């Protein structure tokens, strides 16, 4: 009976230890909670008009502009100028294609919806933060979801950059993140017709 009790105690302590290891992370991992502010804006425009307004304010990132960074003695000013020229009037550019999540729901047997996810940012703005804290690179570029609900109302959703980046507790990162909040708010507001 003592042997059974000892085995049960060992199993219980292993279960507790594995439960404390969040998500099976290595023992040396540091896990801390982060509070994120999620923003949802209701558009005054329909889905197509919201998308049109949003996209016309964005530039498009061309990764070819950064290729010279891998060469000896790259002309950094020329590279920066090329990246600056990619930004749209919002100061942001789109990275990659548009992810049409509305089409994805057909896999669940539902009719296709209207939902586009965009990855947007500006490498020169990101540089102002990652040079202080490389971990910022997990959160830039930013994600924006524009979708239409069952009632035909269009919404724009995103996580507030300053709330994503506040975890880095660095004054220079915070300053740029607050500027991103304003730029993103202006882009979303004008796209939504507010």
Mean pLDDT of the chain: 85
Bridging pattern class, strands 93-94 and 59-60: parallel
Q: Is residue 106 part of a domain?
A: yes
Do residues 104 and 145 lie in contact, with contact meaning Cβ atoms separated by under 8 Å?
no
Per-residue pLDDT at 15 exceeds 50: no
Domain total in the chain: 1
Q: Is residue 47 part of a domain?
A: yes
- Picking from 67, 61, 64, 65, the residue whose alpha carbon sits closest to that of residue 88 is 61
Residues in the chain: 194
Token output for 81: 């100028």
Alpha-carbon span 55 to 48, nearest angstrom: 11
Do residues 98 and 118 lie in contact, with contact meaning Cβ atoms separated by under 8 Å?
yes
Q: Is residue 14 part of a domain?
A: no
Q: Is residue 109 part of a domain?
A: yes
Angstrom distances, CA of residue 72 to CA of 21, 67, 68, 75, 176: 44, 11, 8, 9, 30
Residue numbers of the domain that contains 70: 35-191
Q: Is residue 112 part of a domain?
A: yes
Do residues 193 and 53 lie in contact, with contact meaning Cβ atoms separated by under 8 Å?
yes
DSSP letter for 139, please: T
DSSP E strands, 102-150: 115-121, 142-148
**pLDDT tens digits for range 68-82:** 777 788 788 888 888
**pLDDT tens digits for range 79-134:** 888 889 989 999 999 998 778 877 777 777 777 788 999 999 999 999 999 999 99
Q: Is residue 177 part of a domain?
A: yes
Q: Is residue 20 part of a domain?
A: no
Token output for 94: 């789109």
State phi, psi for 103 to the nearest 5 degrees.
-75, -30
Residue 23 has what pLDDT?
64
Q: Is residue 179 part of a domain?
A: yes
**pTM: predicted TM-score of the whole model, two decimal places:** 0.80
CATH number of the domain at 73, please. 3.30.310.70
**pLDDT tens digits for range 154-168:** 999 999 999 999 999
Map tokens 């539902």 to a residue.
110
Angstrom distances, CA of residue 26 to CA of 21, 23, 30, 147, 192: 8, 9, 9, 38, 44
Element holding 134 (H helix, E strand): none
Confidence of residue 32 (pLDDT cuts 50, 70, 90): confident
Q: Helix, strand or coil for residue 93?
A: strand
């Amino acid at each position: 009976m003592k042997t059974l009790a000892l085995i049960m105690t060992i199993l219980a302590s292993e279960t507790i230890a594995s439960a404390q290891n969040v998500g099976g992370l290595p023992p040396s991992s540091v896990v801390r909670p982060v509070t994120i502010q999620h923003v949802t804006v209701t558009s005054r425009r329909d889905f197509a008009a919201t998308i049109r307004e949003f996209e016309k304010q964005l530039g498009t990132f061309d990764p070819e502009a950064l290729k010279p960074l891998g060469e000896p003695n790259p002309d950094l000013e020329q590279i920066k100028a090329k990246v600056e020229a990619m930004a749209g009037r919002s100061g942001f550019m789109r990275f990659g294609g548009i992810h049409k999540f509305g089409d994805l729901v057909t896999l669940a047997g539902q009719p296709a919806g209207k939902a586009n996810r965009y990855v947007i940012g500006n490498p020169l703005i990101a540089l102002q933060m990652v040079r202080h804290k490389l971990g910022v690179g997990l959160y830039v570029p930013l994600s924006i979801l524009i979708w239409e609900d069952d009632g035909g109302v269009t919404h724009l959703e995103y996580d507030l950059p300053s709330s994503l980046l506040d975890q880095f507790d660095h004054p220079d990162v915070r300053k740029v993140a607050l500027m991103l909040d304003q730029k993103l708010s202006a882009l979303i507001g004008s796209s939504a017709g507010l």
